Amino acid sequence: MYRFVVCRGVTAKARPKGLSWFGSFNLSRSIHSIPFATVDVEEISGSQPAEVHNLVQGKWKGSSSWNTLLDPLNGEPFIKVAEVDEAGIQPYVESLSKCPKHGLHNPFKEPERYLLFGDISAKAGHMLSLPKVSDFFTRLIQRVAPKSYQQALGEVQVTQKFLENFSGDQVRFLARSFGIPGNHLGQQSHGFRWPYGPVAIITPFNFPLEIPALQLMGALYMGNKPILKVDSKVSIVMEQMMRLLHYCGLPVDDVDFINSDGKTMNKILLEANPRMTLFTGSSRVADKLAVDLKGRIKLEDAGFDWKILGPDVQEEDYVAWVCDQDAYACSGQKCSAQSMLFMHENWSRTSLVSKIRDLAERRNLEDLTIGPVLTFTTEAMLEHMSKLLQIPEILKKNTYELVTREIFGPFQIVTDYKRDQLPMVLDAVERMHAHLTAAVVSNDPLFLQEVIGNTVNGTTYAGLRARTTGAPQNHWFGPAGDPRGAGIGTPEAIKLVWSCHREIIYDVGPLPRHWEIPPST
């Protein structure tokens, strides 16, 4: 526990040879064969820049100010985003204000829309299952948030499965109510899932499709009218997804889609007063918005995610491979990336660390198994590393904060602990402020029990195959230990984030025969 090693991800082996790997997938990518698309993903370049528009009150709009994005792989200006500035927010504020608090639908208002969203989801899920459409989105993600084809495809597949999950009657089942018999004849109480009405969704750069698409659909399913703002660096992906959803039957004025900087979005939130905002991003912005919005917010914020290797050493190669994937896939730019690895001393005696290093060295820029880090400079990472290497002990107050700072890149802390030092490890994870994902790698049931029973992370994998990353549509993903914590993916997440409880107590009589006015109480 006193000694630690900083493993600084990997360095790129080579720059891509031109952009030749773009041509390595031989599916048809003609823009004309994808009916909703307005960009040709392979053609976007300095000479043919793509444009990203805003959608408000049912109409796609440009802007007087265009933000030009640079290709993260070669620095060429390649995408122009129509950004709304503070002077242009009024149409967005008006659009949101038009939606009543009781939403666009609820169990007593236009229940047909639950079925409509079941149909839209079925169609959109089918569209994403078509190889040329899934390739289109995978490649579009790669262009703006460089990650390997497999990692980008993962986002598309999770979104596809999610949409399939909420096809047919599954949207109306989300709004399932319940009833309890009352105290007398004619009285019954019913609990309903009620929308918030006007809502906002703000999402970061690292998952350009999965996070905004899943949260957007959840908001719509429950009857809300969302304004969606995705980080402009990657918003082209969701702009094209909006067009796919329209193609699959989404009414054009159900969602407003805006490109802006954070400050402008902050102003919209203050003026439009959405009843609920879902924010996914850094804790710094999350905490500011929680105050500005007087608590009407749910958060998926920073992740400083830990993995504890228990005393039972087994399947060393497998555990090393999962560590490499958890720490370095997507260049460590996942909120669930492994930030800190605690190894039991039995593991320190193995060659685990050198195996992780060997696996990390296989990564290369050519296939984007390692890629550009979009919000952190190499200099800042190296500086952080050299500060960390001076520290003799993690748990001291002034060093602890430095050690547990989230570095959104291929960066992790590796440390070990002795058999009697588990309480110190548990103290270290107790003191962290973000409790998103965790992994307890052990098949010793007593060890698992002790670690799980003394920690809180919202998405915790337990067992020999435990990982920190992985946010598929089939399990809850989100932080725990914070009443503001949101979730994504499952029916429980959708109901928690996008609806509130409403109780209707029917009391229709009849009055008891011979009822008389009783004395005051």
List residues near ligand NAD by CB under 6 A: 202-206, 229, 231, 262, 265-266, 280-282, 285, 288-289, 300-303, 335, 375, 406, 408, 436
Q: Which two tokens stand for residue 210?
A: 């999965």
- Residue 261 Cβ vs ligand NAD, minimum distance, rounded to whole Å: 6
CA distances from 486 to 280, 281, 476 (A): 9, 12, 10
7, 248, 323, 335: the catalytic one is 335
Residue nearest ligand NAD, Cβ-based: 262
With vertex at residue 401, the alpha carbon angle to CA 399 and CA 406, rounded to the nearest 5 degrees, is: 125
What three-state secondary structure class fits 402?
helix
User: Tokens 């307890």 — which residue?
Assistant: 440
Residue 118 vs 479, nearer CB to ligand NAD? 479
Peptide bond just before 226 cis, omega within 30 deg: no
Least separation, in Å, of the C-beta of 149 and ligand NAD?
Answer: 20
Closest-CA residue to 83 (of 52, 58, 106, 59): 52
Q: How far is the CB of 289 from ligand NAD (least distance, A)?
A: 6
| Alpha helices (runs of H) in 183-254, residue ranges in sequence order | 210-221, 235-247
Question: Which two structure tokens, joined as six digits, stand for 197?
Answer: 């009405």
- Which tokens is 392 given? 């003799």
Q: Give the separation between CA 294 and CA 288, rounded to whole angstroms.
A: 10
DSSP bridge partners of 199:
226, 276
Minimum CB separation from ligand NAD for residue 35, in Å? Answer: 29
Nearer CB in complex with ligand NAD: 301/324: 301
Q: Which residues of 167-185 are buried (b: 16+ CB within 10 A; e: fewer)?
A: beebbbebbeeeeeeeeee
In the complex, least distance from residue 441 CB atom to ligand NAD, rounded to whole angstroms: 22
Cβ closest to ligand NAD, residue 120 vs residue 268: 268
335 a catalytic residue = yes
437 contact partners, CB below 8 Å, separation of at least 6: 303, 305, 335, 336, 457, 458, 459, 460, 461, 468, 469, 477
Minimum distance of ligand NAD from residue 503's CB (angstroms): 31
Of 19 and 270, which CB lies nearer to ligand NAD in the complex structure? 270
- Out of 300, 323, 330, 406, the active site residue is 300
Percent helix, strand and coil across the chain, each to the nearest 5: 40, 20, 40
- Which residue's entry shows tokens 């750069």? 205
Q: Determine if residue 344 is left, alpha or beta; phi over 0 gives left, psi from -120 to 50 gives alpha, anything else beta.
A: beta
Position 487: which residue type?
A: G
Which tokens belong to 17?
């040879």
CB of 207 to ligand NAD, least distance (A): 6
Least spacing, CB of residue 517 vs ligand NAD, in Å: 56
**Which stretches of 338-477 are DSSP H helices?**
345-348, 352-361, 378-388, 397-403, 422-430, 445-453
Quick check: is 94 catalytic? no
**Residue pair 471/477 in contact by the 8 Å Cβ criterion:** yes
**Enzyme catalytic residues:** 300, 335
